[in-house]
Amino acid sequence: MNEYLVLAAVFTAVLIATFAVLNALTQRRDVERNIESSRRRRRSDTEIDELLGTGNERLRYYLDVVKTKKKDSLEMRLVQAGFFSKSAVAKFNLIRMLAALIAFVALQVTLQKFVPSASRVTLLILAALAAALVFILASVVLERMAKKRMREFRKIFPDFMDLLLVCVDAGLSIDAAVDRVTREFLQTVPDFGVQLSIVNLEIRAGRPMHEALYNFSDRVQIEEARTLAVLFRQSEELGSSVSRTLRSFAREMRQMRIVKAEEKANALPVKMLFPMAFFMFPVSLIIVLVPITMTVIEILTGLAPK
């Protein structure tokens, strides 16, 4: 009996020690991986200065598109989806043409294999419809990418407000605070940092802060940015404190986030009603009716004449 206890104790000790060693190695590997990924993401000051400079081709192309193209143009939609290269239009057209061609050939080959009796004209018409559908779906996917990007910007905007407030409270001017926050976002969230870079360049060019924020709100479709622009304009006209304005707006924005979260939570039971009724009601009905039906069948079977 004592030998079994000793063996069990040794086995447990070895198991615990092995688990501790593996856990330590796993944690160390995760830490090293996170440090390496953060080093890869971070950019040098020289790269940040190039991104914030007037020679940045991406920003120059973006400003040209905003000034010369319509809101529903392909160039504007590509820019809203995060593609700032001049070759983005040609690449997008090439991709959707290739996708449409692949869909055309694939559907035609598939129909010839599984429906050999179909005529050639029918095959061509169906394949052409499939290619047109894929061609249209490429634009739909692009619009969904742009909307997803705008939602991400809306989530990031409160972090921008917090960092801006911290910089202003630390003694920086509002222009220097925007420059510092822009550099931080260019290292962590490059897409949002590019949008802030445009704001920074407009401020350097002499445009007032509220106008730059108005343009920023039009680009990223964030209503809070437009409200912030209005507050900055009122602060400049009335001569009130910028830090106090930012602090009150940040507090109101947090309250609005809480209100929106409560609205979504209150709307959740209504949204869950139909899925629950569709999936759970038939199962509950079966659970209730099957035993009763089996009992009735047994009773009727027993009453049947022999």
Express each pLDDT in 233-264 by its tens digit.
877 777 777 777 778 887 887 787 788 888 88
Q: Give 152-259's CATH code, choosing from 2.40.10, 1.20.81, 1.10.510, 1.20.120.
A: 1.20.81
Residue type, 225: A
How big is the CA angle at 74 (ends 129 and 83), to the nearest 5 degrees? 115
Alpha carbons within 13 A on the beta-carbon side of 168: 16
pLDDT at position 304: 57
pLDDT at position 10: 67
Q: How far apart (Å, rounded) are the C-alpha atoms in residues 60 and 53?
A: 10
pLDDT at position 84: 75
Residue position matching structure tokens 């704001």: 199
Give how far the C-alpha of residue 257 lies from the chain's centroid of Cα atoms, to the nearest Å. 17
Evaluate whether 143 touches 82 at the Cβ level (below 8 Å).
Answer: no
pLDDT digits (tens, 9 = 90+) for 162-178: 888 888 888 888 888 88
What does DSSP assign to residue 70? -
User: What percent of the chain has pLDDT above 70?
Assistant: 85
The phi and psi torsions of 270 (rounded to 5 degrees) equal: -70, -40
pLDDT digits (tens, 9 = 90+) for 47-82: 555 555 555 666 777 777 777 777 777 887 887 777
pLDDT at position 118: 76
pLDDT at position 2: 61
Domain boundaries along the sequence of the chain: 50-149, 152-259
Helix or strand holding residue 263 (H, E)? helix 242-303
Q: Which residues contact 83 (CB under 8 A, 6 or more apart)?
A: 92
Q: Taking the chain, what is the end-to-end CA distance rounded to the nearest angstrom?
A: 67
How does the average pLDDT of the chain come out, rounded? 78
Listed ranges 24-38, 200-214, 228-242; the one with the highest mean pLDDT: 200-214
Local structure of 46: helix, strand or coil = helix
pLDDT at position 4: 61
What does DSSP assign to residue 69? S
Q: What is the pTM of this model?
A: 0.63
Q: 34 versus 202: which is more confidently predicted?
A: 202
Evaluate whether 67 touches 86 at the Cβ level (below 8 Å).
Answer: no
How big is the CA angle at 256 (ends 252 and 257), to the nearest 5 degrees? 120
Q: How far apart (Å, rounded) are the C-alpha atoms in residues 242 and 215?
A: 20
State the pLDDT confidence band at 11, using cuts at 50, 70 and 90: low
